[in-house]
Structure 1
């Protein structure tokens, strides 16, 4: 069983896999392009597997909240950087609030 710190690193890898999977999903053009489609499936399976490993040491609710918020924020950043999606003040504030929420959740946990 991983330590708590290792579990958070595993969860971070799960977030990265999920965000990469979502970017690949965009590139797959509705699963009509083979390689991006395969990468999407591999990334999503990896993300779920790593989440399962991380929840051995991190409470499920905490892990999922951190995973969902971080994945959404990272996916939005990828959209802005790689896919040239718009970024306005309201979207930037929302991303900052999501990150602040994750930080507050982590501070509220009692080390597990």
Structure 2
């Protein structure tokens, strides 16, 4: 009988110790991203490749499922997105209460549909 020496699981260690991930957001797997954005797996792959090239996300092996990868927002992604966040916040604050309520209802309904 062949015995293997116990070696630390490299995948688990790689995901745990990924140096650029942020603790604010849990990682996603590509299929979750595809479902959330309602895009094809091919479009998701292209998007992930562009985000990695722009250094906004990083990919790491899944710690328990070698068929999957995890996607982490890089720590530099938040400052890169700050101008967009500011513009969205300013636009939202300029809405009248009635309009904001309609948009909120629409987005909540859309989110519920996309989650299923």
> TM-score, with normalisation over the residues of structure 1?
0.28
> TM-score, with normalisation over the residues of structure 2?
0.27
Return the index of the structure with the highest Cα Rg.
2
Higher helix fraction (1 or 2):
1
